[in-house]
């Protein structure tokens, strides 16, 4: 999973034809890695980025799609 996350290998599944496939894939791979270890710097960086995105999306106390999209672009 770590090699796939950093681009050394590809996953055996077919690539989905969605605009955010790479974002989704990095989240899924990072989540899988972090289930086993918290010592992977790349997976930890992805987790930090997603924490910032989710935090921004809920800054008003409920989910705000526009803030989510804006945070996702950063």
**Over the stretch 26-61, which tens digit does the pLDDT of each residue have?**
989 999 999 999 999 999 999 999 999 999 999 999
Instruction: Count CA atoms closer than 13 A to 34's CA, side-chain side.
Output: 14
Determine phi and psi for 20, rounding to 5 degrees. Answer: -110, 30
pTM: 0.75
Give me the mean pLDDT over the 4-29 stretch.
Answer: 84
Please give the biggest Cα pair distance in the chain.
40
């Amino acid at each position: 999973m770590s090699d796939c996350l950093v681009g050394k290998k590809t996953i055996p599944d077919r690539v989905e034809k969605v605009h955010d496939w790479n974002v989704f894939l990095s989240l899924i791979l990072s989540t899988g890695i972090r289930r086993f270890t918290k010592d992977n710097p790349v997976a930890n960086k992805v987790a930090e980025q997603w924490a910032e995105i989710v935090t921004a999306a809920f800054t008003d106390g409920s989910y705000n799609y526009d803030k989510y999209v804006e945070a996702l672009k950063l």
